[in-house]
Structure 1
Amino acid sequence: MGQRQSVATTFTGVVKERIGASLAGVDADLARRYPGDPGTRQPVHTVYVPADVFAADTVRFWGDQALASLDEHAPDASSLAAVLGLSEGLAVPVYERVRGKLLREPVEDLRIDFEDGYGPRSDAEEDAAAGRAAGLVAAMCGGGGGAGSAAPPFVGIRMKCLEAAVRERGIRTLDIFLTGLMEAGGLPAGLMLTLPKVSYAEQVAAMAELVGEFEKARGLEPGRIRFEIQIETTQAVLGADGRATVARMIDAGAGRVGSLHYGTFDYSASCGVGAAYQALDHPVADHAKAVMQVAAAGTGVRLSDGATNVLPVGSAAQVHEAWRLHFGLVRRSLARAYYQGWDMHPGHLPTRYAAVYAFYREGLGSAAARLDAYVNRAGGDMLDEPATARALSGYLLRGMDCGAVDEGEVTALTGLGREGLEGLAGR
Structure 2
Amino acid sequence: MINLDALLAPVDQFLEQHYPTPFRLGQPPHTVYVSGADASEAITQAWAAQALGLIDTHHDLLQTLDEHGVLPRVIDRLSERPIHDLRFDFEDGYGWRDDAIENRHALRAGEALQRLSQQSDGPQSCGVRPKGLAPHERHRLVQTLEAVLAGAGGVPAGFVFTVPKLRHADQVPAVVALCREFERVHGLSDGALKFELQIESPQAVIAADGTVPLAPALHASEGRCTGLHFGTYDYSAACGIAPQHQSLDHPVADHAKAVMLAAAAQTGVWVCDGSTQIVPAGEEKQQESALRNHHRLVTRSLANGFYQGWDMHPGHLVTRWLATFSFYRESLAVAAPRLESYLRRQSGGVVDEPATAQALATVVLRGLDCGAFEEADVVALSSHSSTGILEELVQRTLPDTP
1:200 aligned to which of 146, 149, 168: 168
Could you tell me how far apart the structure 2 residues matched to 1:129 and 1:42 are? 28
Match of residue 172 from structure 1? 143
Cα deviation digits, residues 256-299 of structure 1 (max 9, x gap): 11111110000000001111010001111011111111111111
Give the deviation of 1:79 after TM superposition: 4.0
Counterpart in 1 of 2:73? Answer: 97
Query: Residue 50 of structure 1 contacts residue 112 of structure 1 at CA under 8 Å; is this kept in 2?
Result: yes
Q: Is the 8 A contact 2:25 2:366 kept in 1?
A: no
- Given that residues 197 and 232 in structure 1 are in contact (C-alpha distance below 8 angstroms), is that contact kept between their aligned partners in structure 2? yes
Please identify the structure whose Cα radius of gyration is greater.
1
Alignment of 1:374-393 (within 5 A): 374-393=342-361
1:9 is matched with which residue?
Answer: none
1:109 matched to 2:85? The reply is yes
Q: State the alpha-carbon separation in 2 of the partners of residues 179 and 206 from structure 1.
A: 21
Shift of 1:397: 1.2
Q: 2:172 corresponds to which letter in structure 1?
A: V
Scaled by the length of structure 2, the TM-score of the pair is: 0.94
C-alpha contact (below 8 Å) 2:61/2:288 kept by paired residues: no
Deviation at 1:412, TM superposition (A): 2.2
Cα deviation, residue 226, structure 1: 1.7
CA distance in 1, matches of 2:239, 2:24: 35
CA distance in 2, matches of 1:81, 1:180: 43
Cα deviations by residue, 1:137-160 (Å, 9 ceiling, x for unpaired): 1122234xxxxx842111100011
Q: Deviations over 1:75-115 (max 9, x none)?
A: xxx54232x3x43xx2xx31111111111111111100011
Amino acid at match of 1:107: I
The answer to whether the aligner puts 1:46 opposite 2:31 as a matched pair is: yes
- What letter corresponds to residue 203 of structure 2 in structure 1? Q
Distance 1:382 1:216 in 2: 56
User: What residue is the counterpart of 1:359 in the other structure?
Assistant: 327
Corresponding residue for residue 27 of structure 1: 12
Residue of structure 2 in register with 1:159 after alignment: 130
Work out which of the residue numbers 245, 248, 259 in structure 1 matches 2:213. 245
Name the SS for the 1:136 alignment partner.
Answer: helix
Q: CA deviation at 1:218?
A: 4.2
Q: Secondary structure at the match of 2:338?
A: helix
SS at match of 2:87: strand
The runs of 5 or more residues in structure 1 that have no matched partner are: 1-11, 144-148
Give the % identical residues. Answer: 47
Listed one character per residue, the Cα deviations across residues 231-262 of structure 1 (whole Å, up to 9, x for unaligned) are: 00111111111222211211221221111111
What amino acid is the match of 1:163? Answer: A
Provide the rounded CA distance (Å) in 1 between the counterparts of 2:324 and 2:24: 20
Distance in 1 (CA, whole Å) between partners of 2:100 and 2:342 is 61
Q: CA deviation at 1:217?
A: 4.0
Q: Which amino acid aligns with 2:38?
A: V
1:174-200 per-residue CA deviation (whole Å, 9 max, x = no partner) reads 12222443x3xx423311210001101
1:375/1:215 Cα in 2 relative to 1: closer, same or farther (>3 Å)? farther
Which of 404, 409, 419 is the aligned partner of 2:372? Answer: 404
Could you tell me how far 1:56 is from its partner in structure 2?
A: 1.4
Where do residues 70-149 of structure 1 align in structure 2 (5 Å cutoff)? Answer: 70-74=55-59, 79-82=61-64, 84=65, 86-87=66-67, 90=68, 93-143=69-119
1:369 corresponding residue in structure 2: 337
Aligned twin of 1:306: 274
Which letter does structure 2 place at the counterpart of 1:106?
Answer: P
Aligned partner of 1:346 in structure 2 is 314
2:46 is matched with 61
Quote the Cα distance in structure 2 between the aligned partners of 1:221 and 1:383. 49
Pick aligned residue for 1:256 from 216, 224, 235:
224
- Do 1:51 and 1:118's aligned partners in 2 also have CA atoms closer than 8 Å? yes
- Show structure 2 runs of 5+ residues with no match: 397-402
Is 1:424 aligned to 2:393, yes or no? yes
Query: Residue deviations 1:348-377, cap 9 Å, x none?
Result: 111111111111112212201111111221
Contact 1:130–1:173 (Cα < 8 Å) also in 2 = yes
- Return the letter of the residue paired with 1:110: L
Kept in 2: contact 1:141–1:150 (CA 8 A): no
* Aligned mates of 1:325, 1:264 — CA distance in 2: 16
Indicate conservation of the 8 Å contact 2:166/2:201, yes or no: yes
Match of 1:4 in 2: none
Residues 108-127 of structure 1, C-alpha deviation per residue, up to 9 Å, x if partnerless? 11100011111111111111
Q: Does the CA-based 8 Å contact 2:23-2:266 persist in structure 1?
A: no
Name the aligned partner's letter for residue 148 of structure 2.
Answer: F
SS in 2 for 1:259: strand
Structure-2 separation of matches of 1:338 and 1:167: 30
SS at 1:27's partner residue?
helix
**Shift of residue 337, structure 1, vs aligned partner:** 0.2
Tell me if structure 1 keeps the 8 A contact 2:30–2:309.
yes
Q: CA distance change for structure 1 residues 224 and 422 in 2, over 3 Å: closer, same or farther?
A: farther
Of 28-37 and 159-168, more deviation after overlay is shown by 28-37
* Amino acid paired to 1:360: Y
Large movers: runs of 4+ above 6 Å: none
Alignment correspondent of 2:294: 326
Question: Over aligned residues, Cα RMSD in angstroms?
Answer: 1.7
How many Å separate the matches in 1 of 2:392 and 2:254? 32
Shift, 1:219, TM fit: 4.6
Q: Secondary structure at the match of 2:294?
A: helix
Deviation sequence 1:18-69 (CA, Å, 0-9, x none): x212211111110111012453311111110001112111011111100001
Q: Secondary structure at the match of 1:111?
A: strand
Superposition deviation, residue 346 in structure 1? 0.6
What code does the residue aligned with 1:105 have?
R
